[in-house]
Structure 1
Amino acid sequence: MENYYELTVRELIELGGEARTPQRVNSDKAYKKKINQKKLGNEQFVRVKEDFNEVKKLLSLEQSGLLMFLLGFVKFNEEGQLFNDSKRMTVSDIAKLVGKSERQIRTVLSELETMSLIYREKVGRNVFVSLGEAFFNCGYSEESFKFVKVYKTRLKEVAKRLTLSEIGFLMQLLSHFHWETHLLVDNPSETDKSKLVIWSRKHIAEELGLSIDFVKRAIPKLRKVQAIVEVKSAKTGLVLDPSLVCRQEQKPSFDKIVRTINEAGLTKENFKK
């Protein structure tokens, strides 16, 4: 077997190999970056990795809410760092934006940090906050993983009109919407839409371990900001807004979501008893 590391450039090329100059390597990287950007589109989003599904079971609504709120401020390709108006965000900045005391925010951040969902970095007198890259990604990645996209601009619009608990409720729903119809279901990865098992409010409460009273109060608030939409097909299902969250490579329009649901031929049997 040839030891390719000991060949000259000419010998390598004669054997069908390729030699690249440093300039060519940089050019190839720039091209790959351009292609990746084209795939991502101009609208920035955060990827919530599938591994988050297990950790979220340990979170309170307030913890989930603060975490979801912070997704709107993560900067593209900056290793999870949070920015507001081009400045890195401190614990104090977050407290002001959320309308809580620094002590309250420090407590919640400390709890999130123990699960590696965020981390804090002290620089001089400031304590900066970043998202944990084990669970979130905003930027280019060579890593392969399943994820839900959360669109940052839309998230900020929604979050400023909700309480932390309501935002947290929304985050708890991320792993439960169907990849194609956006309906809240038992089986979000199902490819055969005739097999969907669709949730009602009762099932949401049961699956998330929440009181039915809270769910009944929170859903109208999420509907008011159009984070959740009711769609009737045999019976009424709950759909997460595709301009806010998405599991597909290309973000579908709401009209396409409705069309997909209507064409699925769902019956009352698809609704969980």
Structure 2
Amino acid sequence: MAQEFMNVETGDVVKIASYRTEAQQEAYQKHQKAKAVIKKSGSPFVFSEMEAFKGGLSMLNNKELGYFLLLQTYVDYKNMVKANADAKTPMKTKEIAEALGVTAQTTNTVLKKFEKLSLIYRDKVEVAGKSYKAVFISSDYCFRKGVGAEYSNKKTDKAVKVFINSLQEAFKEGLQPADIGFIYKSIQFIHYETNLLVANPTERDLHQVQTLSLEALAEVMGLSVEETSRKLGNLQWTNMYVYGKIRVGRELIIKANPNLLYRKAGEFDETLGAEFVVNSSK
């Protein structure tokens, strides 16, 4: 049933079949934005190795880990750091600095540390007859797959898909590098079937899966239990939480949002991340 409304500036009366309040419109826009991110999260993605934390990554603090994971979202199919998929030339230091939200000086310092730990290496590449300095990330830490890609035969059973658009959007919306470092550290615990954080992520028998306790996660993160719990409850992007905390009896179960991090091959069933989408519409 149509309702009549008056334009307070002109005095004109108009009939409107339906309308939203300001709060309803804001909630609707947030929900639509979340849906758009979910749609985009299907591609592209980079595989990040779960067992890499046994190596040079252990020498980085959470902020540096965040920079490194962000940098991974800019690699091409040869692991060269580029501004985007269509870019012909590698990223310059200034462009990397802009992508990481830091100064050129900080970028140089971080890249030197990454290079010293063999996380990255530098090389020259030829593009249209011109030589360019390029940064490459070691495939021990991440890689992308595709037809004819350099790492198309690399195994993915111990790697997590990090959806590029989702992580970059989360950073633009205010997630700090240390927050992204927290996210990076958590990928080593993501279970293949359920996306839960577990102590034995390669276990396929659900009866044998051991969920990761808050205390155990806090120890890995190098934070207090209170700080870790706060992170889990606060990290979000596009009105969706990065993690879900589910209470089952006395046990707390932690789940990673599959719109950002996902292990299985192919597209994920929407029901796997239903709780994140439902919460995003509030």
TM over 0.5: yes
Q: Deviation at 1:180?
A: 1.1
**What's 1:91 paired with?**
93
Correspondence for 1:150 among 140, 153, 162: 162
In the TM superposition, 1:112-151 aligns within 5 A as 112-121=114-123, 127-140=133-146, 141-144=152-155, 146-151=158-163
Q: How does 1:206-221 map to 2 (within 5 A)?
A: 206-221=219-234
Structure 2 Cα separation of the partners of residues 209 and 239 of structure 1? 20
Distance 1:254 1:238, change over 3 A: farther
1:228 and 2:239 aligned: no
Matched, 1:186 2:204: no
Deviations 1:163-186 (A, max 9, x none): 110000100000111111111111
Q: Against the structure 1 CA distance between its residues 143 and 72, is the aligned structure 2 distance closer, same or farther, given a 3 Å change threshold? A: closer
| AA at the equivalent of 1:98 | L
Structure 2 residue 86 is matched with structure 1 residue 71: no
1:48-67 map, 5 Å:
48-55=48-55, 56-67=57-68
Residue type of the partner of 2:198?
A: V
2:256 matches 1:248: no
Q: Could you give the per-residue CA deviations for residues 142-168 of structure 1, whole angstroms, max 9, x where no partner exists?
A: 233532211111221222221110000
Q: Distance in 2 between matches of 1:231 and 1:223?
A: 16
Q: What is aligned with 1:162?
A: 175
Query: What do the CA deviations read for 1:228-266 (whole angstroms, capped 9, x no partner)?
Result: 12234334421111121222112323413679xxxxxxx
Residue identity matched to 1:114: K
**Are the equivalent residues in 1 in contact too, given 2:50–2:187 (CA < 8 A)?**
no
Gap regions ≥5 residues in structure 1: 1-41, 260-273
CA 257–98 in structure 1, closer or farther in 2 if over 3 Å, else same: closer
> Structure with the greater relative contact order (CA < 8 A, sep ≥ 6): 1 or 2?
2
Cα 1:223–1:97, aligned 2, differ >3 Å: closer, same or farther? closer
Task: State the match for 1:27 in structure 2.
Answer: none
CA distance in 2, matches of 1:50, 1:219: 20
Matches of 1:152 and 1:164 in 2, distance apart?
Answer: 15
Opposite residue 137 of structure 1, the aligned amino acid is F
Offset at 1:66?
A: 0.5
Aligned twin of 1:174: 187
| Residue type of the alignment partner of 1:62 | K
Runs of 5+ unmatched residues, structure 2: 1-41, 147-151, 276-282
- SS of the aligned residue for 1:184 comes to coil
CA RMSD of aligned residues (A): 2.7
**Which amino acid in structure 2 is aligned with residue 105 of structure 1?**
T
Question: Do structure 1's residue 80 and structure 2's residue 79 form an aligned pair?
Answer: yes
Q: How far does residue 223 in structure 1 lie from its aligned partner after superposition?
A: 4.0
Whole-Å separation in 2 of the counterparts to 1:58 and 1:99: 22
With the length of structure 1 as denominator, give the TM-score of the two structures: 0.69
Q: 2:214 aligns with which of 174, 178, 201?
A: 201
CA distance in 2, matches of 1:187, 1:131: 27
CA gap 1:88/1:148 in 2 versus in 1, 3 angstroms? same
**Change beyond 3 A, Cα 1:208–1:112:** same
Distance 1:183 1:196 in 2: 10
Please say if residues 242 and 251 of structure 1, whose CA atoms lie closer than 8 Å, have aligned partners that are also in contact. Answer: no
Give the 3-state SS of the residue equivalent to 1:230 in structure 2.
Answer: strand
Moved more, 129-138 or 182-191: 129-138
CA distance in 2, matches of 1:174, 1:50: 6
Aligned to 1:45: 45
- TM (norm. structure 2) is 0.67
> Conserved in 2, the CA contact under 8 Å of 1:65 and 1:167?
yes
